[in-house]
């Protein structure tokens, strides 16, 4: 066992009233690959960001080789030897591999580059780690797997002692994953660095790690060498034992209508997928029901919603909307078929920031209040105002929506969705970044909408509690697969949900069949 | 909150329009020129000033639409030359002048449509597309005329450039009519709302069902139409189609007028009123410098500086959306006053 390289001790982090990390202590040793695992929102990413210098902790200390350190930024951390390779890769695509490896530490004299020396060193490094590259390639022309390796090599070339990887395998294929796992283990041993990996896939954790730390709700629940652990130990620690009792507080008071079950499904999805996207997704959605969709990061939750809304194509499988074949080519298409979608990225693509709440709500339904393209403004505004008032938005609804708080923005977007009178409502993280009070208002609103207007609602959320509160049934996505098997919330708790999501995807017979029908 | 919920209609709070600042500046500049020269203070000079500014105003009108969706139209000046000689050539070939005008305006809209189509279908940045069509249009003007100017012999055509209605030059009347139409289009129609939405957040607009292709093509068609109207007016003022008109300051001034008037280069913000005030300000500066016998070499310099101030202001407004100007300024000083070398 190597020396303690980096020790994080008693790390505390709060966001507002919520404590994300309750005094977490972990030790990363030289020559070891260390896995961090946990459910959505357990605090893994926050911990990683604190160590990488991207987030400042509210308590605790980080020691690098015995010295207390406090990084002001990821680049400060990197120059001290703590390098992060996160999802958004930081290589410059317009430069060559060699130029990237030597960026901001170019070799040369008096500002004149010593290209030969850099080239020689670069190809040495590349050869050592088994990358079939000369160094002269433009990064833009390389596949993701190689770019990731180049980032890791680049970190090593900058004398990194600790390398942090956030879900490095999400974009990779089986063979590439094996190769990465092999190389990572080798690098850790040979260079005596500590490699820290956040990963959701137990198989990978067991394949690559020497040591594993599991977090649940911001606390370390398991910490030990991988050799002493079984899959079951890890799952049990993440899932927790007394979760079941805790999560029954907020059960939906209005049970499903008996008629729901018999109703013709509003939407039937059969084995849809696309290359490098969803593998095979099937489920039914009935009018008036709220169906939850749960899965870990990278399981394809959001991609499914985007596919249903015509934002991403699917190449196999089929969808049926009220008995008609449904194959949306664009959001406009989907809207005309009665679908409405609230995206997870509220700020990026949820609304027009300069428009006020009223105008944002009116935008998709202007056609209803116009004659020859001229808007009957008063009429349109009155309709929007009625819905906006029922949602009790706090703040000036005549101010640009970009200035309102997240909760009020989300309420406005829900009003916008209601105004469209959809038959199917797709919600991606409907209460992301929203305070508890507003959250329960939104939950009540969603339930009212489904139960009173018969809208079929599909909700994606990383918060188990939210799904358990607002949904009737929950389906599970895992690695691009969804069998459509329903789990009634009454029989669920967040522990069971996590366990279901962690289970490896079943070999899906539908997938093969679907492929054949395409031909 | 509860009182707000009970109020039957939430009255829109009266606020100072965004264009108030630039209108104030226009008044100050005009007053300064008037103080310096008695010639500035005459009605006839006022009309000449507006007449000279009319074509810039029309271009700025078209440019406003394009800027509002976050685009830019660099081909607008070259289109003046192309369309100006096109209308004179049509008349030279015996087409009666009202029909020649109609055909030219249609051709201008088609030129704009082509810009919009290329931008939307091939996803090429508007800067590059209209940069290329600028070259194409200015070349076309030379090719179809053999680089010769084309005289107009149908005297009725002159009314477009030289006529007056109740003393007001026809070009100014034309500009006023189209400016009002454009203002109504932007504020009262679905298309107008979609234009602002597209410029405000393209992706959100798409998710809300806005037809981005139609919106994009329409704004470039409007810009092409405005440029051809400018070309027709320029030709009618001189009764000669010059293949090299519109290749000077017109493009620069058209963007300048819109930007000075508060139309954001980032899209989604700005109004026709502002762009028109901007165009008048440019006309006042040009005219005032003429009246004061300042070398015309200085014109673009002065206007360039005004644009620079307007753009810096726009950039800060965007970054600190929703904060008052005083706060924006303070943030600017904090950032740049205490920046340390890293």
SS3 A64: strand
Please compute the mean of the pLDDT values over residues B55-69 and round it to a whole number: 97
Contact list in A for residue B205 (CB cut-off 8 A) is 352, 363
Structure tokens at A4: 């303690």
Structure tokens at B237: 């003022």
Taking an 8 Å cut-off on Cβ atoms, the answer to whether A370 and B200 are in contact is no
Q: What is the DSSP string of A327-360?
A: --SSHHHHHHTTEEEE-S-HHHHTS-TTSBHHHH
The residue assigned the tokens 């992706």 is: B203
Please compute the mean of the pLDDT values over residues A17-32 and round it to a whole number: 91
**CA–CA separation, A367 vs A234, rounded Å?**
55
- Residue A399 and residue A360 share a domain: yes
- Residue A463 and residue A409 share a domain: no
- Residue A199 and residue A140 share a domain: yes
Q: Is A233 part of a structural domain of the chain?
A: yes
Please compute the mean of the pLDDT values over residues A351-363 and round it to a whole number: 93
The per-residue pLDDT for B187 is 92
Of B178, B59, B179, nearest in space to B130 by CA: B59
Q: What end-to-end distance do the CA atoms of chain B give, in Å?
A: 47
The per-residue pLDDT for A357 is 93
Structure tokens at A39: 């459910």
Is the predicted pLDDT of residue B7 greater than 80, yes or no? Answer: no
Minimum CA–CA partner of B267 in chain A: A354
Please compute the mean of the pLDDT values over residues B11-35 and round it to a whole number: 79
The per-residue pLDDT for A506 is 57
* Residue A72 CB partners (closer than 8 Å, separation 6+): A53
> Of A5-14, A508-517, B129-138, where does mean pLDDT reach its minimum?
A508-517
Contact list in A for residue B268 (CB cut-off 8 A) is 352, 354
The per-residue pLDDT for B14 is 53
Is the predicted pLDDT of residue B342 greater than 60, yes or no? Answer: no
- Which of B69, B198, B208 is the mutation pick for testing A, counting most A CBs within 10 A? B208
Q: Is A504 part of a structural domain of the chain?
A: yes
Q: Name the pairing type of β-strands A473-476 and A487-488.
A: antiparallel
**CA–CA separation, B184 vs A203, rounded Å?**
63
Q: What is the CATH number of the domain that holds A501?
A: 3.40.50.300
- The residues facing A12 across adjacent strands are A22, A59
The per-residue pLDDT for B333 is 62
pLDDT digits (tens, 9 = 90+) for A175-206: 788 888 888 999 999 999 999 998 877 888 88
Chain A: closest CA distance from residue B323 (Å): 9
CB A462 within 8 A of CB A489: no
Share of chain A above pLDDT 90, in %: 48
The per-residue pLDDT for A505 is 65
- Residue A132 and residue A232 share a domain: yes
The vertex-A349 CA angle with A343 and A355, nearest 5°, equals 120
Taking an 8 Å cut-off on Cβ atoms, the answer to whether B209 and A403 are in contact is no
Q: Is A249 part of a structural domain of the chain?
A: no
Phi, psi torsion values for B196, nearest 5 degrees: -65, -40
The per-residue pLDDT for A246 is 40
The residue assigned the tokens 């695992």 is: A37
For residue B42, the tally of other CB atoms under 10 A from its CB is 12
* Residue A492 CB partners (closer than 8 Å, separation 6+): A468, A474
Q: Which of B12, B189, B268 sits opposite A398 (nearest CB)?
A: B12
**CA–CA separation, B176 vs B160, rounded Å?**
14
The per-residue pLDDT for A17 is 74
Chain A: closest CA distance from residue B18 (Å): 13
What is the pLDDT confidence band of residue A472, given thresholds at 50, 70 and 90?
very high
pLDDT digits (tens, 9 = 90+) for B120-150: 999 999 999 999 999 999 999 999 999 999 9
- The residues facing A36 across adjacent strands are A198, A213
Minimum CA–CA partner of A364 in chain B: B208
For residues A368-400, one letter each, b for 16 or more C-beta atoms within 10 angstroms of the residue's C-beta and e for the rest, the string is ebbeeeebebeebbebbbebbbebebebbbeeb
- Residue A371 and residue A286 share a domain: no
**CA–CA separation, A199 vs A94, rounded Å?**
30
Q: Which of A331, A351, A373 sits opposite B191 (nearest CB)?
A: A373
Q: Which of A183, A212, A244 is the last residue of a domain?
A: A244
- Residue A228 and residue A291 share a domain: no
CB A206 within 8 A of CB A190: no
The per-residue pLDDT for A514 is 42
Q: What is the helix (H) or strand (E) element at residue A325, kind and residue range? A: strand A324-325
**CA–CA separation, A370 vs A97, rounded Å?**
56
What is the pLDDT confidence band of residue B256, given thresholds at 50, 70 and 90?
very high
Minimum CA–CA partner of B318 in chain A: A354
Of the CA atoms within 13 Å of residue B318, those in its CB half-sphere come to 18
Phi, psi torsion values for A397, nearest 5 degrees: -75, 0
CB B291 within 8 A of CB B33: yes
The residue assigned the tokens 């360039």 is: B304
Q: Which of A351, A363, A402 sits opposite B322 (nearest CB)?
A: A402
Chain A: closest CA distance from residue B264 (Å): 12
The residue assigned the tokens 């969804």 is: A482
The per-residue pLDDT for A240 is 65
The per-residue pLDDT for A396 is 86
Q: Is A344 part of a structural domain of the chain?
A: no
Q: Which of A387, A421, A455 is the last residue of a domain?
A: A421
Contact list in B for residue A362 (CB cut-off 8 A) is 193
Taking an 8 Å cut-off on Cβ atoms, the answer to whether B269 and A331 are in contact is no
What is the pLDDT confidence band of residue A263, given thresholds at 50, 70 and 90?
low
- Residue A409 and residue A312 share a domain: no
Diameter over CA atoms, chain A = 81
- Residue A358 and residue A331 share a domain: no
**CA–CA separation, A96 vs A115, rounded Å?**
12
Phi, psi torsion values for A62, nearest 5 degrees: -115, 125
The residue assigned the tokens 């205490």 is: B338
Structure tokens at A311: 């934002």
Q: Is A362 on the interface with B (CB under 8 A)?
A: yes
Contact list in A for residue B183 (CB cut-off 8 A) is none
Predicted ipTM of the assembly: 0.79
What is the average pLDDT value for chain B, to the nearest integer? 88
Q: Is A345 part of a structural domain of the chain?
A: no
Q: Which of A364, A377, A399 sits opposite B208 (nearest CB)?
A: A364
H-only helix segments in B272-296: 272-291
Burial class (CB in 10 A: 0-12, 13-18, 19+), A446: buried
The per-residue pLDDT for A259 is 45
DSSP A257: P
pLDDT digits (tens, 9 = 90+) for B75-106: 999 999 999 999 999 999 999 999 999 999 99
Chain B: closest CA distance from residue A139 (Å): 23
Minimum CA–CA partner of A363 in chain B: B208
pLDDT digits (tens, 9 = 90+) for A223-248: 999 999 888 888 888 776 544 334 34
- Residue A445 and residue A331 share a domain: yes
CA B126 remoteness from chain centre: 16
- Residue A455 and residue A322 share a domain: yes
Taking an 8 Å cut-off on Cβ atoms, the answer to whether A352 and B200 are in contact is yes
Question: Which range of residues forms the domain containing residue A311?
Answer: 257-338+422-519
Chain A: closest CA distance from residue B340 (Å): 14
Q: Is A314 part of a structural domain of the chain?
A: yes
Taking an 8 Å cut-off on Cβ atoms, the answer to whether A375 and B12 are in contact is no
CB B52 within 8 A of CB B287: yes
Is the predicted pLDDT of residue B233 greater than 80, yes or no? Answer: yes
* Residue B302 CB partners (closer than 8 Å, separation 6+): B285, B289
Task: Count up the domains in chain A and report the number.
Answer: 3
Chain B: closest CA distance from residue A113 (Å): 23
How many Cβ pairs within 8 Å bridge chains A and B? 87
- The residues facing A267 across adjacent strands are A285, A321
- Residue A240 and residue A265 share a domain: no
Taking an 8 Å cut-off on Cβ atoms, the answer to whether B196 and A352 are in contact is yes
The per-residue pLDDT for A7 is 94
Diameter over CA atoms, chain B = 74
- Residue A430 and residue A416 share a domain: no
Q: Which of A401, A421, A441 is the last residue of a domain?
A: A421
């Amino acid at each position: 066992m190597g020396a303690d390289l980096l020790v994080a001790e008693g790390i505390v982090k709060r966001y507002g009233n919520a404590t994300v990390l309750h005094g977490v202590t972990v030790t990363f040793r030289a020559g070891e690959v260390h896995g961090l695992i946990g459910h959505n929102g357990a605090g893994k990413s926050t911990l990683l960001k604190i160590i990488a210098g991207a987030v400042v902790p509210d308590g605790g200390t980080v020691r690098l080789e015995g010295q207390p350190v406090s990084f002001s930024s990821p680049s400060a951390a990197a120059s001290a030897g703590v390098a992060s390779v996160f999802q958004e890769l930081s290589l410059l695509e317009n430069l060559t591999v060699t130029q990237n490896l030597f960026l901001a530490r170019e070799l040369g004299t008096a500002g004149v580059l010593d290209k030969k020396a850099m080239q020689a060193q670069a190809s040495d490094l590349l050869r050592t780690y088994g990358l079939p590259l000369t160094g002269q390639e433009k990064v833009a022309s390389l596949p993701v797997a190689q770019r990731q390796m180049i980032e890791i090599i680049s970190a090593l070339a900058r004398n990194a002692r600790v390398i942090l990887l956030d879900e490095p395998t999400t974009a990779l294929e089986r063979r590439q994953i094996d190769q990465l796992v092999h190389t990572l283990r080798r690098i850790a041993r040979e260079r005596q660095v500590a490699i820290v990996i956040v990963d959701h896939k137990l198989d990978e954790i067991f394949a690559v790690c020497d040591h594993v730390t599991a977090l649940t709700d911001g606390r370390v629940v398991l910490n030990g060498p991988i050799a002493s652990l079984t899959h079951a130990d890890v799952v049990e620690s993440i899932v927790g034992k007394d979760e079941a009792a805790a999560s029954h507080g907020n059960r939906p008071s209005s049970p499903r209508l008996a008629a729901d079950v018999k109703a013709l499904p509003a939407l039937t999805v059969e084995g849809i997928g696309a290359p490098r996207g969803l593998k095979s997704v099937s489920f039914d959605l009935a009018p008036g029901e709220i169906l939850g969709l749960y899965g870990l990061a990278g399981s394809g939750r959001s991609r499914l919603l985007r596919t249903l809304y015509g934002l991403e194509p699917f190449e196999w499988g089929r969808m049926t909307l009220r008995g008609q074949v449904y194959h949306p080519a664009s959001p406009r298409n989907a809207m005309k078929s009665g679908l409405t979608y609230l995206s997870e990225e509220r700020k990026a693509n949820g609304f027009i920031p300069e428009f006020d709440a009223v105008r944002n709500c009116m935008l998709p339904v202007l056609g209803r209040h116009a004659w020859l393209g001229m808007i009957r403004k008063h009429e349109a505004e009155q309709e929007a105002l009625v819905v906006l008032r029922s949602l009790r938005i706090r703040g000036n609804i005549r101010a640009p929506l970009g200035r309102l708080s997240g909760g009020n923005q989300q309420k406005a977007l829900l009003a916008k969705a209601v105004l469209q009178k959809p038959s199917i409502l797709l919600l991606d993280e409907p209460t992301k970044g929203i305070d508890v009070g507003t959250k329960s208002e939104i939950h009540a609103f969603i339930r009212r909408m489904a139960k009173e207007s018969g809208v079929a609602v599909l909700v994606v959320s990383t918060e188990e509690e939210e799904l358990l509160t607002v949904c009737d049934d929950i389906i599970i996505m895992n690695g691009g697969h969804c069998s459509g098997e329903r789990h009634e919330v009454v029989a669920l708790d967040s522990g069971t949900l996590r366990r279901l999501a962690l289970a490896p995807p079943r070999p899906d017979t539908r997938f093969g069949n679907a492929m054949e029908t395409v031909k | 909150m509860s009182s707000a919920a009970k109020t039957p209609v939430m009255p829109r709070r009266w606020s100072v329009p965004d264009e108030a600042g630039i209108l104030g500046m226009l008044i100050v500049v005009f007053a300064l020129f008037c103080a310096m020269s008695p010639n500035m203070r005459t009605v006839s000079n006022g009309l000449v000033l507006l007449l000279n500014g009319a074509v810039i105003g029309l271009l700025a009108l078209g440019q406003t639409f394009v800027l509002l969706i976050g685009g830019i139209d660099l081909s607008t000046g070259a289109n003046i030359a192309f369309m100006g000689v096109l209308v004179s050539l049509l008349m030279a070939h015996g087409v009666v002048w009202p029909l020649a005008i109609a055909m030219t305006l249609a051709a201008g809209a088609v030129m704009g449509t082509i810009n919009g189509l290329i931008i939307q279908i091939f996803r090429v940045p508007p800067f590059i597309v209209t940069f290329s069509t600028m070259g194409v249009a200015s070349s076309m003007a030379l090719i179809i005329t053999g680089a010769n100017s084309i005289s107009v012999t149908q005297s009725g055509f002159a009314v477009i450039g030289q006529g007056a209605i109740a003393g007001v030059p026809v070009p100014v009347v034309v500009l006023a009519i189209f400016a009002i139409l454009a203002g109504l289009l932007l504020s009262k129609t679905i298309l107008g709302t979609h234009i602002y939405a597209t410029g405000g957040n393209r992706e959100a607009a798409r998710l809300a069902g806005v037809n981005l292709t139609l919106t994009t093509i329409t704004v470039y068609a409007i810009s092409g139409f405005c440029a051809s109207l400018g070309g027709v007016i320029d030709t009618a003022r001189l009764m000669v189609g010059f293949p090299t008109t519109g290749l000077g300051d017109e493009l620069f001034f058209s963007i300048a007028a819109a930007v000075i008037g508060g139309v954001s280069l980032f899209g989604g913000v700005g109004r026709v009123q502002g762009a028109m005030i901007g165009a008048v300000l440019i006309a006042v500066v040009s005219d005032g410098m003429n009246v004061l016998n300042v070398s015309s070499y200085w014109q673009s310099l002065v206007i360039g500086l005004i644009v620079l101030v307007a753009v810096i202001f726009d950039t800060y407004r965007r970054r600190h959306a929703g904060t008052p100007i005083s706060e924006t300024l303070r943030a600017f000083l904090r950032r740049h006053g205490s920046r340390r070398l890293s």
